[in-house]
Amino acid sequence: MMPDLGKYAVAVLGSYAATVVLLAALVGLSVWQRARAKRLLAETEARQAARERGRTDG
């Protein structure tokens, strides 16, 4: 299945490996930042909603 890359195996596999590592890091970072922003906004909106409820009740 694996093609015979001959004497250029290091250059070809190195290129693919570097690309996979960099893209995986970028996707991982983007997904982590997305989860963090979602959590931050949910917490902030919950605090605001609680304060507004308190103001209405009081």
Partner 1 sequence: MSIWEYANPKKFMQTSAWALPWVVGLTVLCLGTGLVWGFFFTPDDYKQGSTVKIIYIHVPAAMMAINAWVMMLVTSLIWIVRRHHVSALAAKAAAPVGMTFTLIALITGALWGQPMWGTWWAWDPRLTSFLILFLFYLGYIALWAAVDDPDTAADLTGVLCIVGSVFALLSRYAVNFWNQGLHQGASLSMDEKENVSDVFWLPLLVCIAGFVLLFLTLVLIRTRTEIRTRRAHALMARERLA
By CB atoms closer than 10 A (0-12, 13-18, 19+), residue 55 is exposed
Q: Would you count residue 53 as binding partner 1 (CB under 8 A)?
A: no
Size of site (CB under 8 A) for partner 1: 34
Q: Would you count residue 33 as binding partner 1 (CB under 8 A)?
A: yes
Tokens of 12: 């070809």
Helix and strand numbers (H, E) in the chain are 1, 0
**Cβ 47 to partner 1, closest distance in Å?**
7
Question: 12 vs 53, which CB is nearer to partner 1?
Answer: 12
Q: Would you count residue 50 as binding partner 1 (CB under 8 A)?
A: no
